Amino acid sequence: MPARDEIKNRIHVLRTRWESYVADGTFDQFIEFTVAINSLAEHFNRMRLPGLVRICEGLEKAALTYLGTPASHPLGQQVIAALQRQVDTLAGAIANSQPKLQKRRADDAPRETPDAEWVKPRSVWLIVAPEMQSMADALTRQMGFFGFKTLALPWGGAKPDDDMPLAVIFIPAPDTTSAAEHAYIAKVRTRCAASQLIYLGAPSDIEAIVELMRAGLDVTLPQEEGASTVLSCVLDLVQNHEPDKYRVLVVEDSRVAATLIQRTLAEHNLDSQVVLDPRKLLEEVESYRPDLILMDMHMPRFNGVEATRVLRQMAAYKSLPIVYLSGEADIGMQVEALRLGGDQFLSKPFNPVLLTAVVKTKIERFREMQRSTRVDGLTGLMNHTAAKSLLKSMMERCEPTDSLTVAMIDIDHFKSINDTYGHPVGDQVIRSLAWLLKGRLRSTDLIGRYGGEEFLIALPGIAPQQALQVIDRIRNDFSILPHAHPSGTLFASFSAGVAAWPNFDTAASLTEAADHALLQAKRYGRNRVESSENLFTMYREKEPEVQQHH
Ligand code: GH3
Ligand code: MG
């Protein structure tokens, strides 16, 4: 379902549930309403729309305050009227935040997900104090290199009504926080509910930062951190952070209970699969690769604790979160179950708000732990191992008629950049290339840091000729991107080798072929893209001139 419809759908569900609560006033209806708010907040969070998340969270907090017990319902008229206002504010903010469909650059690789279009307007507003104009100019130039369109607005000035920016960056004059400034930020916040608000000029005093955040900012950065940190913040926004849905394996022999659990999980956009016959558990865990298991306590043949013990003595599942769900009220039994390897105990009948909260926080922690072993610290890209394994699974999904193009990219004469300007400058060049790749490629593409100054990318679903063009354009743009060093700027370039499925049909042979092509590109003079076969003779740009970085 396109994202736009999905949002419409979710707000509709929320409204309907609210209306049925207002009509009948039961506890269960109120829970359903709370669940709907949470699910909307989650959706906005995934889409990285912080302003809307904030409004949802305000409503959710109010709802949870009044949740109480069945005896607290129906709520009084005043409370209902207050909640009604919050529901209306939320609906209004959503309606105002819908950006016009962005026209993508015609020569871009096609972006197939409308989700991406909703979240990826590439316009950025700069709201700048007059004395900070030169900083704004530098930022505008840099953003331009990464494909962002910036619009400079005077501090306190009017805002265009036909644009919904991805981010708004405030660059204040030094030491100027005032009530008027807060009021202005709050106004921008209301106008741009879905945008990330970044303040480049954070005071060192925590109370002043709290005030600014209360006014509606999302991020405050010290001015000396300058353009590169802002750029990295903005680039982060166009990345889909967790493209993968959370997966929950429900081990439950009662079909009715399983259906109920799945329904609750689905409302929170959690993917789930049921194992009705616990004898199939090991196969299911292996094929579904859950992030968490919801384990029934009492099952035929063996119980949940015994099943958990089996999993825990297998290396692959030592840290997989396992949550017991049981009608068992005996505390001694619960303690024993936890001692034998479970992470938490929830009792049946379950409270949906509590169930999803437990499931989500456990999965977040689990993913975070796994993430730290998969992400490269310097660039935030996938590391060697993670990139290799993702490529392998992308290839396993390839049908004979699909397209998948792989490129190996290596920065030219990098050793001499390090030798001439020092390691930190070298690091910044690596980071800039990582940002450029992130900014230019789609969220469905693989981008990994394969080695020191070597990157692996994979572009699924577009013809190899087109992929080659995309990579070659990035090559060209990287070669004219200035990198700052203590006494000026330097230029760098990269070479790339490209190979495509189905000419090569394993991850190993594809990367090897791309590597060969890369060597060829180096031999032919660097700052160029070569392909592993004649596949690409249809596309040849004018011979690129060999460029030295100094
Ligand atoms: P070529 O054009 O043939 O690729 O030459 P090159 O100098 O880029 O290649 P070479 O493999 O000789 O040198 C790569 C250098 O990259 C060597 C290594 O010290 C440096 N390097 C590797 N990882 C990092 C890193 O994380 N940061 C920095 N600053 N340098 C790194
Ligand atoms: Mg190199």
Shortest-distance Cα residue to atom 5 of ligand 1: 413
Per-residue pLDDT, 455: 98
Assess contact for 261 and 272: CB atoms under 8 A.
yes
Whose structure tokens read 């279009």? 117
Shortest-distance Cα residue to atom 11 of ligand 1: 415
Domain shared by 393 and 504, yes or no: yes
415 touches ligand 1 (CB under 6 Å)? yes
Per-residue pLDDT, 121: 56
pTM given for the model = 0.58
Instruction: Name the DSSP letter for residue 491.
Output: -
The CATH number of whichever domain residue 319 belongs to comes to 3.40.50.2300
**64's tokens:** 């949870």
Separation between Cα atoms, residue 136 and residue 140, nearest integer Å: 6
Name the residue range of residue 482's domain: 384-549
Domain shared by 140 and 229, yes or no: yes
Predicted confidence (pLDDT) at residue 527 exceeds the cutoff of 90: yes
Domain contains 377: no
Count how many domains the chain has.
Answer: 4
- Counting beta carbons within 10 angstroms of the beta carbon of residue 1, is it exposed (0 to 12), middle (13 to 18) or buried (19 or more)? exposed
Per-residue pLDDT, 377: 81
User: Quick check: helix, strand or coil at residue 398?
Assistant: coil
Domain shared by 474 and 388, yes or no: yes
427 touches ligand 1 (CB under 6 Å)? yes
**151's tokens:** 């619009």
Separation between Cα atoms, residue 357 and residue 439, nearest integer Å: 33
pLDDT digits (tens, 9 = 90+) for 73-132: 999 999 999 999 999 989 888 887 765 444 334 344 444 333 333 334 578 999 999 988
Per-residue pLDDT, 408: 98
Q: What are phi and psi of 196, to 5 degrees?
A: -85, 125
Domain contains 92: yes
Shortest-distance Cα residue to atom 19 of ligand 1: 415
Torsion angle in degrees (nearest 10) through CA of 204, 210, 212, 217 = 110
CA distances from 46 to 40, 265, 360 (A): 10, 16, 13
Domain contains 177: yes
Domain shared by 157 and 16, yes or no: no
Domain shared by 190 and 266, yes or no: no
pLDDT digits (tens, 9 = 90+) for 197-234: 999 988 888 998 999 999 999 899 888 777 777 887 78
418 touches ligand 1 (CB under 6 Å)? yes
Torsion angle in degrees (nearest 10) through CA of 22, 24, 28, 32 = -40
Domain shared by 334 and 265, yes or no: yes
Predicted confidence (pLDDT) at residue 542 exceeds the cutoff of 50: no
Q: Cβ–Cβ contacts within 10 Å for residue 79, how many?
A: 14
Per-residue pLDDT, 2: 55
Per-residue pLDDT, 416: 95
The CATH number of whichever domain residue 41 belongs to comes to 1.20.120.160
- At residue 370 the predicted structure's pLDDT band, cuts being 50, 70 and 90, is confident
452 touches ligand 1 (CB under 6 Å)? yes
Predicted confidence (pLDDT) at residue 485 exceeds the cutoff of 60: yes
Q: Which of 66, 81, 108 delimits the end of a domain?
A: 108
Ligand 1 centroid – CA 500 distance (Å) = 26
Pick from 392-401, 458-467, 536-545: least confident: 536-545
* Cross-strand pairs, 488: 485
412 touches ligand 1 (CB under 6 Å)? yes
Separation between Cα atoms, residue 290 and residue 312, nearest integer Å: 15
Per-residue pLDDT, 345: 86
Per-residue pLDDT, 316: 86
Per-residue pLDDT, 536: 54
* Cross-strand pairs, 149: 123
Q: Ligand 1, closest atom to CA 410?
A: 4
Assess contact for 118 and 90: CB atoms under 8 A.
no
Question: Annotated catalytic residue: which of 181, 453, 454, 530?
Answer: 453
The CATH number of whichever domain residue 459 belongs to comes to 3.30.70.270
Domain contains 210: yes
| Closest alpha carbon to 43 in 95, 121, 123, 119 | 119
User: What integer best gives the mean pLDDT of the chain?
Assistant: 84
Predicted confidence (pLDDT) at residue 4 exceeds the cutoff of 70: no
- All residues with CB under 5 Å from ion ligand 2: 410-411, 414
Shortest-distance Cα residue to atom 26 of ligand 1: 452
Domain shared by 130 and 170, yes or no: yes
Per-residue pLDDT, 387: 95
Shortest-distance Cα residue to atom 25 of ligand 1: 452
414 touches ligand 1 (CB under 6 Å)? yes
Domain shared by 400 and 510, yes or no: yes
Domain shared by 291 and 439, yes or no: no
Domain contains 378: no
Domain shared by 172 and 28, yes or no: no
Separation between Cα atoms, residue 67 and residue 378, nearest integer Å: 45
Assess contact for 275 and 284: CB atoms under 8 A.
yes
Domain contains 114: no
CA distances from 191 to 126, 185, 196 (A): 15, 10, 12
Predicted confidence (pLDDT) at residue 243 exceeds the cutoff of 60: no
Domain shared by 180 and 206, yes or no: yes
Domain contains 432: yes
Percentage with pLDDT > 90 across the chain: 39
Separation between Cα atoms, residue 86 and residue 83, nearest integer Å: 5
Ligand 1 centroid – CA 420 distance (Å) = 12
Average pLDDT of span 22-39: 88
Known catalytic residue: 453?
yes
Per-residue pLDDT, 239: 60
Predicted confidence (pLDDT) at residue 528 exceeds the cutoff of 70: yes
Average pLDDT of span 159-177: 83
State which of 383, 384, 414 you would mutate to test the pocket of ligand 1, scoring each by most atoms of that ligand within 8 A of its C-beta: 414
Per-residue pLDDT, 280: 92
Report which secondary-structure segment, H or E, holds 189. helix 179-191
445 touches ligand 1 (CB under 6 Å)? no
Q: Which of 342, 372, 402 delimits the end of a domain?
A: 372
Domain contains 488: yes
Domain shared by 396 and 540, yes or no: yes
Per-residue pLDDT, 320: 93
Q: Which of 238, 267, 284 delimits the end of a domain?
A: 238
